Amino acid sequence: MEHAPVTTNPLIIMVINMTVVFIVLVSLIYLIKLIHFIDPTKEPDQKPEDGVAPGEPPLVAVKSSSPPAVAEPEPVDEGINPEVIAAISAAISAYGFSGQVKAVRIVNHEGTPWRASARFNNLSRK
């Protein structure tokens, strides 16, 4: 017995396929919401203390006539400028990571296209 296709109309096939895709997407949305709702790694909600919302830092009044002391950057052994390390730290924190940059080292890029491009640009400027 031969099986004949149910339909050969491309519009009906498209509608069926798009319906299936959107049903899968909507079910994934609800699955993600369910996972966020029952997330065991989520920290419990904290009660506000002294009228401060849980996400806000408390307001502190500081009375000082002298400016705050600025910590000097640590010396770098490889000769990298402290400004470069500050820029790298700012770029890392801009992506939402917190912490402190402990070490910065130059990776040897001999033979890479970036190195060849830099050499070409330096030679063409002279």
Provide Rg for the chain, Cα atoms: 29
The average confidence (pLDDT) of the chain is 75
Q: How many residues does the chain have?
A: 126
If one compares 2 and 35, the residue with the highest pLDDT of the two is: 35
In a domain, 120, yes or no: yes
Domain count across the chain: 1
Q: Looking at the domain assignment, is residue 96 inside a domain?
A: yes
The answer to whether position 21 is within a domain reads no
Indicate whether 39 belongs to any domain: no
Report if residue 102 sits inside a domain.
yes
d(CA 93, CA 32): 27
Question: Per the domain annotation, does 89 fall within a domain?
Answer: yes
Contacts of residue 104, defined as CB under 8 A and 6 or more positions apart, other chains included, come to 76, 78, 80, 84, 85, 88
- The pTM of the full predicted model, rounded to 2 decimals, is 0.33
CB count in 10 Å sphere of residue 49 = 9
- The answer to whether residue 54 is domain-embedded is no
Domain that holds residue 119: 82-125
Beta bridge pairs of residue 65 = none
Residue 57 lies in a domain: no
Reported as a single tens digit per residue, the pLDDT across 48-95 is 555 555 556 555 555 555 555 666 666 545 567 778 888 888 888 888
Three-state DSSP state, 113: helix
